[in-house]
Amino acid sequence: MRTPNLARQPFANHRPLLVVGLALAALALIATAVSVLDLLAARRAERDFAARLAPLEQRRAELARAVGALDSELRGVAWGKLTAEASALDRVLIKRKLVWTELLGNLERVLPWDVRLITINPSVDQEGGLALGLVGVSTGREGWLSLIARLFVDRSFSDPVPLSEQAPGATNAIGYRFEVRAHYWPEDRS
């Protein structure tokens, strides 16, 4: 026999829904707690960074003032005059580096037997190197052309350029007069 159901509605088992709901609520509470702890840790780190940032900002302001003072001081410098003075000083230092005994020894090594030098004029070129102006005489044209060839080959000289030549004549009775310009490398070119 059947037992009558006196309930207005049929019995529904809500326990699984209640368990799932409670589990979700517990997970939500745990996630909220973790988020709050993370927020508090982030706020603590932010306060620490802010505390470290204040002295750094103060130091940056001091450096900015110092840079401003140096900039204003540098604006007063006459850069054109300073550059000219520095290049003049460079030329003097390069000329001081020239050791005449070494130069004369190097020239003697490349000088053919029939060539005599009258003038040796060292100067500083635009690149900061030493340029030599050589004026001399030779018994024949082959002698001073041999000098140019030897200047090409020698490691102490480079880029010889003949500037002028005067054949023997009424005004020049001693031989071929020539003028050559070459670069001189006191420490040998590399």
pLDDT (tens digit per residue) in 29-67: 999 999 999 999 999 999 999 899 889 999 999 999 999
Evaluate if residue 94 carries a pLDDT over 70.
no
The per-residue pLDDT for 59 is 92
pLDDT (tens digit per residue) in 109-129: 999 998 999 998 888 776 667
Q: Whole-angstrom Cα distance, residue 37 to residue 30?
A: 11
Q: Whole-angstrom Cα distance, residue 139 to residue 176?
A: 6
The per-residue pLDDT for 62 is 93
Does the predicted TM-score (pTM) go above 0.85? no
Q: Coil, helix or strand for 118?
A: strand
Q: Coil, helix or strand for 158?
A: strand
The per-residue pLDDT for 126 is 65
φ, ψ dihedrals at 127, nearest 5°: -80, -5
Q: Whole-angstrom Cα distance, residue 165 to residue 180?
A: 9
